[in-house]
């Protein structure tokens, strides 16, 4: 009888322990703040961290992140260590600000090439195009080798004016006739145009439990209710229009045109416009979520993609570029991983050579073509 009582109480306490354990884990899952979700990979896999780019490369998308001479010299050392031979600094700027940045960077190293912005200060006035073209020519004579980064998140180009006013005040889309003279002048001077269109697709979706990019979209999203705003595809259409209107102008859509969730559509865009190229900057975590589809796209369009970073130029950032593009490491996390694990693309040597280095010759040829 006593033994039976002991067994019953033992079973009861085990059942209780089991039950309460289940309850406890459920309640913890309900309490974890998504922002604090920082998983650590459990997989025991080989890791590869290439110390530098496999082929000497050109970064075609960076910004004046560092503006003191000592810091820029340290950046040059980091570049050398990482096998980066040249960096294009997209200044957004014109006027005195462009001149200041040009003198600062080129005075320290010939590794830097500076691109100017468009002079949007007189936008809306009748002499806008005339003044903006004159300023473009002045920047070109100063040493600007291209234009960028323009940026349209659905309401019109807003990046260049921001460099003057500090505000993202939209102007007009790139296919607007008020840009015609400027884009034709870019072609005449051999200045490629770097342009940011839209944002990743989850920034347009409701911020709810179904949003695949929630952790990022919660902080960084598009107000799709803004009057007159275009969606991602409509904004991309304005760039396609500009490519048709200005067949001699070389356009480079930043961040793989933010269409990395839809490679079929992106392929169509590239097939339709031979004067359109992509840079792969700042979309590493996004593209590494689908390593096989992304690799297939890179391999097929290896002639149309330039390497770019668009992030603070520190060792960790460069390390991540090489690891994602060159290795086949799986399921790893890092600063730019958002909430999903990253995977290496393992691009072929042929594609790496083109993206890192050889495609840049197309920019050089364009800049140096007969004028
Ligand atoms: Zn940028």
117-128: per-residue pLDDT in tens?
999 999 999 999
- Domain-located, residue 294: yes
Q: Residue 172: inside a domain, yes or no?
A: yes
Which residue range is the domain that position 287 belongs to?
46-368
Three-class secondary structure of residue 61 per DSSP: strand
| 149 upstream amide cis, omega within 30 of 0 | yes
Cα(62) to ligand 1 centroid in Å equals 6
The verdict on residue 116 lying in a domain is yes
Helix axes 128-142, 95-106, angle to 10 degrees: 10
Mean pLDDT computed over 140-149: 97
Distance CA 218, CA 224 (A): 14
The domain that holds 133 is classified in CATH as 3.20.20.140
Which pair of structure tokens corresponds to residue 289? 């979520």
Overall number of domains in the chain: 1
Q: Is residue 170 part of a domain?
A: yes
**Strand pairing of 193-197 and 147-152?**
parallel
- Max avg pLDDT among 35-49, 91-105, 327-341: 91-105
How confident is the model over 198-255, as pLDDT tens digits?
999 999 999 888 988 887 877 888 999 999 999 999 999 999 999 999 999 999 999 9
What's residue 49's pLDDT? 95
Residue 34 lies in a domain: no
Q: Tell me the three-class secondary structure of 2-29, residue by residue.
A: HHHHHHHHHHHHHHHHHHHHHHHHHHHH
- The alpha carbon torsion through 59, 62, 65, 70 (nearest 10 deg) reads 30
Expressed in angstroms and rounded, the spacing between residue 120 Cα and the centre of ligand 1 is: 18
Is 80 exceeded by the pLDDT of residue 26? Answer: no
Ligand 1 center to 130 CA (angstroms): 27
CB-proximal residues (5 Å) to ion ligand 1: 149, 310
Tell how far the Cα of 3 is from the centroid of ligand 1, in angstroms: 75
**33 domain-assigned:** no
> CA-based angle 254:63:258, to the nearest 5?
20
Three-state helix/strand/coil letters over 247-273? CCCCEEEHHHHHCCCCHHHHHHHHHHC
312 CA to middle of ligand 1, Å? 11
d(CA 225, ligand 1 centre) in Å: 25
Q: Tell me: pLDDT of 2 over 60.
A: no
pLDDT for position 214: 83
pTM (2 d.p.): 0.91
> How many angstroms does the Cα of residue 157 sit away from the middle of ligand 1?
14
pLDDT at residue 16 in the model: 47
Q: How far is 324 from 332, CA to CA, in rounded Å?
A: 10
Cα–ligand 1 centroid distance for 76 (angstroms): 19
CA 150 / ligand 1 centre spacing (Å): 9
Task: Judge contact between 153 and 203, C-beta under 8 A.
Answer: no
User: What proportion of the chain, given as a percentage, has pLDDT over 70?
Assistant: 91
* Ligand 1 center from residue 24 Cα (angstroms): 45
What is the pLDDT confidence band of residue 162, given thresholds at 50, 70 and 90? confident
Domain presence at residue 15:
no
Q: How far is the CA of 151 from the centre of ligand 1 (A)?
A: 9
On whether residue 28 sits in a domain, the answer given is no
Answer yes or no: is pLDDT of 111 > 50. yes
Q: Is the pLDDT of residue 314 over 50?
A: yes
Confidence of residue 169 (pLDDT cuts 50, 70, 90): confident
In the structure, what pLDDT confidence band is assigned to residue 5 with cuts at 50, 70 and 90? Answer: low
Q: How far is the CA of 327 from the centre of ligand 1 (A)?
A: 25
């Amino acid at each position: 009888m006593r033994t039976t009582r002991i067994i019953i109480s033992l079973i009861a306490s085990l059942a209780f322990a089991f039950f309460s354990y289940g309850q406890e884990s459920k309640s913890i899952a309900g309490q974890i703040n998504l922002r604090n979700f920082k998983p650590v990979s459990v997989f025991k896999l080989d890791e590869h961290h290439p110390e530098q780019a496999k082929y000497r490369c050109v970064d075609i998308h960076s910004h004046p992140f560092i503006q003191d001479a000592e810091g820029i010299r340290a950046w040059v050392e980091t570049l050398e260590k990482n096998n980066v031979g040249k960096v294009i600094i997209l200044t957004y700027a014109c006027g005195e600000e462009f001149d200041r940045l040009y003198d600062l960077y080129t005075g320290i190293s010939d590794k830097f090439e500076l691109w100017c912005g468009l002079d949007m200060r007189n936008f809306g006035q009748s002499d806008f195009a005339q003044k903006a073209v004159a300023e473009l020519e002045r920047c070109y004579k100063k040493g600007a080798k291209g234009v960028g980064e323009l940026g349209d998140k659905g309401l019109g180009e807003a990046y260049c004016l921001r460099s003057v006013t500090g505000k993202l005040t939209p102007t007009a889309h790139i296919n607007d006739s008020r840009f015609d003279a400027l884009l034709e002048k870019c072609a005449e001077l051999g200045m490629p145009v770097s342009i940011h269109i839209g944002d990743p697709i989850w920034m347009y979706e409701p911020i709810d439990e179904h949003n695949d990019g929630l952790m990022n979209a919660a902080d960084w999203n598009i107000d799709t209710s803004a009057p007159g705003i275009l969606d991602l595809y409509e904004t991309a259409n304005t760039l396609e229009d500009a490519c048709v209107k200005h067949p001699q102008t070389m356009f480079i859509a930043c961040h793989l045109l933010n269409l990395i969730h839809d490679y079929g559509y992106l392929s169509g865009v590239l097939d339709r416009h031979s004067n359109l190229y992509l840079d792969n900057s700042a979309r590493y975590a996004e593209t590494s979520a689908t390593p096989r589809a992304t690799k297939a796209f890179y391999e097929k369009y290896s002639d149309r993609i330039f390497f770019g970073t668009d992030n603070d130029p520190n060792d960790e950032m460069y390390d991540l570029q090489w690891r994602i593009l060159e290795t086949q490491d799986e399921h790893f996390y890092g600063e730019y991983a958002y909430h999903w694990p990253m995977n290496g693309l393992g691009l072929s040597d042929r594609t790496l050579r083109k993206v890192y280095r050889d495609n840049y010759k197309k920019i050089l040829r364009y800049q140096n073509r007969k004028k």
